[in-house]
C-alpha cells in the first residue's frame, strides 16, 4: 500500500468556520460551464475446506446487539450511491457498496494481484469441463450467518442468484439467464441442469459455454450478482429483512441504515473465518459535496473520505494521509453513445455524426479525441496521479494488450485542436465559420470512487466547444444514464464513465456486445450496450468458450486493434483508487480492483 505522508501536524477546525474558506479555494480555477439539471491464499481453484459442521436444528434469530460507543469506528464518507435501496436486486454495482461489508461471494481477489488472479472465498474449489459447459463447486463449510440464522449452504446461494436476476438493473439477469438456460437457479434445478449433491456441493450444466463463471459471475468483482444472504431469514421475514437487518457471512454485521444518509455496522461477535476487523464499528456516510466530505475529515467527524485529487493537498497540509491502491483499479473513458451498428435500434447517424458508419464516423471520433487535452486532465484534475489509458477496457496486465497502442498514441490520439477542426471539415461538418458544426450533449454524473467525473465533464464540454461543436453540459443522476444505455438502448450523448479494469470477457460484454434482440423489449438486453460491431459480438462469443491462452490473446487483440484504429471511444486515464485518512485513527487501508467502489473495509488497520 502506497501512503503519502503529511508534512505538517494535524489541525482540527470547526466545520462551520472551515466550509466558507474551502468553498472560496475550491471556486478558484474551476471551469465555468452552464449545466442543465435533470432529476433523478495462493491463486488456485482449490483451498482447504473447514471441518464439516455437526447437524443443527432450524436456526432461530438472535437480537442485534447495540453498538458500543467506546469501540474504535471507521467512518467513511463517500459520494451518494447511484441507487440507494434496501433491496440488493434493485442496485447496480456501485449501489452495492453498502452491502459489501456484510456479504461475501464464492470467489475473490487480492489487492496485490488485482483481477489477474482469482481466489476462493465462500467456495473452496471448483472444476470446469474442457468445453466450459459443466461446473462443480464445493462450498466452504461451517460459515455462520449473522444473528444466528444458521450456516451457509447451497440453498442460500440459490436464493441469492434467484433474487439478483429477478430484475435487470444489476446487469446480471440477461447474461446469467442466457448461460443458465433458465429464468432462475430454481428453474435450472427443476430442469435437471443443476444438481445439489449435498449442502455444500452443486453441479451445473450450462446452456452454452461460459469460461468466466468463477472469475466473474460468482466472484466479488461482480458482487451485485452473487452477494450471499440467508435463505432462512428470507423465509421467516421476507423483504423486510433487508431494511431491519439482513444476515450475511461477512466480517461486519448490520446495525442500522438510513437511505441517502448512512449505513452502520459492527464486527461480528465471534472469530470470523477470514478476518477479525481492527475497527469494531463501521459507518458509511453519503455526502454530495466534495468540500463537505473534506470538512468532515478535517473536523474529525469522519476519519476516511473520498474526495477529488485536487483537494488532496489541502488535506495533506492539515496532516492527513493519502491511501492509494497497489494497482490501477479504475479508469476514466468517454463513451460516444449511439454507435448501434449491429441492431440499428435507435440508431441516428444522420443527426449524430459520431455514430455515422464508415469514414465519416471515424473522422468525427478522431476529431473529438484530438480535442481532449489529456495531460491537462491528468495533471490538473487528477494531480498527476494517473497513467494514460490507451484503449478502453484494455490494460497491459490483461490478455489482448498490444504495445503499439501506447507507441502510436501521441500520433493518432494526441491533443491537436487545429487538426481536430480540419478533421471535422473533412467529415463534412464545416458549420457556420467553424461554429455550430453539430449538437451533442455531455452528461455529467458522480459515482463513488471517481469524484472527478464532474470536473472532467465540464472540461470535455469546453474542449468540444473549442473545435466548433455545439456542446451542452447536462447534469443527471446516474440512474438515468443506466436507463438510457441499458434499459432502453436509446443513448445519444457523451459521458465520462468509470471504466473498471476487469477481465476482458466481462468488459467486452459491458461495452461492446450487442446480443440478441429481446422480442418483448424490441432491443438487445444482454450487455450494457455502449456500442456495437459484429466483430465484437463474434469475439465475445469465442472468448466465452476458448480456453487456450494464446488464442484468447489473439482474439482479444484483434478486437482491440479495431476499437483503437476506429476511435470507438475517448480513453482518458487509469488511476489507483485513493482515499484520504486521518493517520491518528487509520493506520492502513488496502483495497483491490473493485470497480472503483471501496471494498475490503474489514482489512483497514486502526492506529489506536
Of 378, 409, 383, the residue nearest 396 (C-alpha): 409
User: Which one of 228, 258, 275 terminates a domain?
Assistant: 228
Distance between CA atoms of 15 and 298, rounded to whole angstroms?
8
DSSP 435: B
* 181 and 145 together in one domain: yes
Whole-angstrom CA distances from 362 to 255, 290, 424, 567, 568 are 53, 37, 10, 6, 8
* Alpha helices, H only, 335-403: 358-370, 374-376
Sign of torsion over alpha carbons 158, 161, 164, 168: negative
Per the domain annotation, does 34 fall within a domain?
no
Distance between CA atoms of 74 and 303, rounded to whole angstroms?
7
Per the domain annotation, does 374 fall within a domain?
yes
Rounded to 10 deg, the angle between the 504-512 and 549-565 helix axes is 30
DSSP 259-287: TTTEEEEEE-SS--SS---S-SEEEEEE-
* 539 and 602 together in one domain: no
Strand-pair partners of 500:
330
* 298 and 335 together in one domain: no
* Pairing outcome for strands 387-388 and 123-128: unpaired
* 381 and 276 together in one domain: no
440: domain CATH number? Answer: 3.10.105.10
* 561 and 587 together in one domain: no
Per the domain annotation, does 322 fall within a domain?
yes
333 sits in which H/E element = strand 330-336
Distance between CA atoms of 190 and 42, rounded to whole angstroms?
36
3-class secondary-structure state, position 116: strand
User: Which one of 165, 197, 228 terminates a domain?
Assistant: 228
Q: What is the pLDDT of residue 529?
A: 67
183: domain CATH number? Answer: 3.90.76.10
The cell for 160 is: 441469492
Distance between CA atoms of 12 and 271, rounded to whole angstroms?
36
Distance between CA atoms of 212 and 190, rounded to whole angstroms?
24
In this structure, the dihedral spanned by the alpha carbons of residues 129, 130, 133 and 139, taken in order and rounded to 10 degrees, is 30
Q: What is the pLDDT of residue 92?
A: 78
User: Which one of 228, 259, 276 terminates a domain?
Assistant: 228
3-class secondary-structure state, position 401: coil
* 360 and 336 together in one domain: yes
3-class secondary-structure state, position 524: strand
The cell for 228 is: 450471499
Q: Are 557 and 319 in contact (CB under 8 A)?
A: no
The cell for 21 is: 474558506
The radius of gyration of the chain's CA atoms, rounded to the nearest angstrom, is 24
* 385 and 517 together in one domain: yes
Distance between CA atoms of 70 and 511, rounded to whole angstroms?
47
3-class secondary-structure state, position 455: helix
Compute how many other C-beta atoms are within 10 angstroms of the C-beta atom of residue 356: 21
* 580 and 569 together in one domain: no
How many residues does the structure list for the chain? 608
Per the domain annotation, does 320 fall within a domain?
yes
Per the domain annotation, does 60 fall within a domain?
no
* 291 and 174 together in one domain: no
Distance between CA atoms of 101 and 91, rounded to whole angstroms?
15
Residue 2's Cβ-count burial label (10 Å; 0-12, 13-18, 19+) is exposed
Distance between CA atoms of 456 and 452, rounded to whole angstroms?
6
Domain total for the chain?
A: 3
* 555 and 410 together in one domain: yes
- In the block, cell 432529476 appears at 39
Of 509, 514, 471, the residue nearest 489 (C-alpha): 514
In this structure, the dihedral spanned by the alpha carbons of residues 267, 268, 273 and 279, taken in order and rounded to 10 degrees, is 10
**CB-based contacts of 91: which residues, under 8 Å, 6+ apart?**
81, 83, 84, 85, 99, 169, 170, 224
Distance between CA atoms of 223 and 201, rounded to whole angstroms?
21
267: domain CATH number? Answer: 3.40.190.10
Residues of the chain with pLDDT under 70: 1-70, 169-170, 448, 527-529, 592-597
Sign of torsion over alpha carbons 391, 392, 398, 400: negative
Structural domain boundaries, residue 600: 1-15+67-102+250-327+576-608
Distance between CA atoms of 567 and 371, rounded to whole angstroms?
13
- In the block, cell 453539430 appears at 438
* Pairing outcome for strands 114-120 and 107-110: antiparallel
Distance between CA atoms of 532 and 522, rounded to whole angstroms?
16
Distance between CA atoms of 601 and 603, rounded to whole angstroms?
5
Q: Are 247 and 145 in contact (CB under 8 A)?
A: yes
* 418 and 529 together in one domain: yes
Whole-angstrom CA distances from 478 to 325, 334, 485 are 25, 15, 11
- Euclidean distance between the first and the last CA atom of the chain, given in angstroms as a whole number: 19
Per the domain annotation, does 112 fall within a domain?
yes
Per the domain annotation, does 59 fall within a domain?
no
Distance between CA atoms of 157 and 105, rounded to whole angstroms?
9
Distance between CA atoms of 427 and 280, rounded to whole angstroms?
61
Q: What is the pTM of this model?
A: 0.75
Per the domain annotation, does 546 fall within a domain?
yes
* 386 and 490 together in one domain: yes
Amino acid at each position: 500500500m502506497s501512503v503519502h505522508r503529511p508534512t505538517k501536524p494535524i489541525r482540527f477546525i470547526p466545520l462551520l468556520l472551515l466550509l466558507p474558506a474551502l468553498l472560496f479555494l475550491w471556486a478558484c480555477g474551476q471551469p465555468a460551464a452552464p449545466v442543465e439539471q435533470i432529476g433523478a491464499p495462493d491463486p488456485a481453484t482449490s483451498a482447504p475446506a473447514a471441518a464439516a459442521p455437526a447437524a443443527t436444528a432450524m436456526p432461530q434469530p438472535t437480537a442485534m446487539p447495540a453498538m458500543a460507543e467506546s469501540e474504535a469506528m471507521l467512518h467513511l464518507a463517500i459520494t451518494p450511491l447511484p441507487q440507494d435501496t434496501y433491496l440488493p436486486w434493485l442496485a447496480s454495482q456501485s449501489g452495492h457498496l453498502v452491502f459489501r461489508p456484510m456479504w461475501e461471494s464464492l470467489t475473490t481477489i487480492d489487492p496485490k494481484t488485482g483481477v489477474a488472479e482469482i481466489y476462493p472465498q465462500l467456495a473452496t474449489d471448483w472444476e470446469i469441463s474442457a468445453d466450459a459447459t459443466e461446473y462443480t463447486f464445493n462450498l466452504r463449510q461451517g460459515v455462520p450467518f449473522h444473528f444466528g440464522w444458521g450456516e451457509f449452504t447451497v440453498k442460500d446461494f440459490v436464493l441469492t442468484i434467484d433474487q439478483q436476476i429477478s430484475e435487470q438493473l444489476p446487469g446480471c439477469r440477461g447474461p446469467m439467464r442466457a448461460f443458465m438456460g433458465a429464468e432462475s437457479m430454481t428453474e435450472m434445478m427443476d430442469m435437471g441442469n443443476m444438481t445439489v449433491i449435498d449442502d455444500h456441493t452443486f453441479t451445473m450444466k450450462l446452456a452454452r459455454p461460459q469460461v468466466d463463471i468463477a472469475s466473474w459471475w460468482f466472484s466479488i468483482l461482480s458482487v451485485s450478482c452473487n452477494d450471499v444472504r440467508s435463505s432462512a431469514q428470507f423465509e421467516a421475514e421476507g423483504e423486510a429483512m433487508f431494511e431491519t437487518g439482513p444476515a450475511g457471512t461477512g466480517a461486519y454485521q448490520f446495525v442500522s441504515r438510513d437511505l441517502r444518509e448512512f449505513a452502520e455496522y459492527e464486527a461480528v461477535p465471534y472469530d470470523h473465518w477470514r478476518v477479525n476487523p481492527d475497527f469494531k464499528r463501521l459507518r458509511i456516510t453519503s455526502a454530495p459535496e466534495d468540500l463537505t466530505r473534506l470538512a468532515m475529515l478535517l473536523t474529525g467527524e469522519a476519519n476516511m473520505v473520498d474526495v477529488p485529487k485536487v483537494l488532496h493537498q489541502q488535506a495533506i497540509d492539515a496532516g492527513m494521509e493519502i491511501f492509494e491502491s497497489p494497482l490501477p483499479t479504475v479508469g476514466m473513458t468517454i463513451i460516444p453513445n449511439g454507435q448501434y451498428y449491429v441492431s440499428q435500434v435507435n440508431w441516428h447517424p444522420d443527426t449524430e455524426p459520431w455514430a455515422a458508419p464508415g469514414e465519416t464516423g471515424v473522422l468525427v471520433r478522431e476529431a473529438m479525441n484530438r480535442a481532449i487535452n489529456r495531460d491537462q486532465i491528468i495533471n490538473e484534475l487528477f494531480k498527476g496521479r494517473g497513467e494514460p489509458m490507451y484503449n478502453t477496457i484494455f490494460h497491459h496486465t490483461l490478455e489482448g494488450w498490444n504495445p503499439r497502442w501506447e507507441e502510436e498514441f501521441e500520433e493518432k490520439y494526441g491533443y491537436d485542436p487545429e487538426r481536430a477542426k480540419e478533421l471535422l471539415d473533412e467529415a463534412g461538418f464545416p458549420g457556420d465559420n467553424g461554429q455550430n458544426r453539430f449538437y451533442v450533449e455531455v452528461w455529467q454524473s458522480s459515482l463513488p470512487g471517481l469524484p472527478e467525473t464532474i470536473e472532467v465533464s465540464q472540461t470535455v464540454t469546453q474542449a468540444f466547444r473549442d473545435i466548433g461543436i455545439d456542446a451542452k453540459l447536462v447534469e443527471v443522476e446516474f440512474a438515468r444514464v443506466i436507463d438510457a444505455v441499458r434499459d432502453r438502448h436509446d443513448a445519444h450523448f457523451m459521458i465520462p464513465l468509470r471504466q473498471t479494469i476487469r477481465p476482458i470477457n466481462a468488459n467486452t460484454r459491458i461495452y461492446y456486445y450487442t446480443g440478441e434482440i429481446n422480442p418483448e423489449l424490441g432491443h438487445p438486453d444482454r450487455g450494457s450496450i455502449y456500442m456495437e460491431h459484429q466483430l465484437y459480438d463474434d469475439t465475445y462469443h469465442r472468448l466465452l468458450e476458448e480456453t487456450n491462452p494464446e488464442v484468447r490473446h489473439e482474439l482479444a487483440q484483434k478486437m482491440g486493434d479495431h476499437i483503437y484504429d476506429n476511435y470507438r471511444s475517448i480513453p482518458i486515464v487509469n488511476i489507483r483508487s485513493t482515499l484520504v485518512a486521518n493517520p491518528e485513527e487509520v493506520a492502513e487501508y488496502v483495497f483491490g480492483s473493485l470497480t472503483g467502489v471501496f471494498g475490503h473495509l474489514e482489512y483497514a488497520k486502526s492506529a489506536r
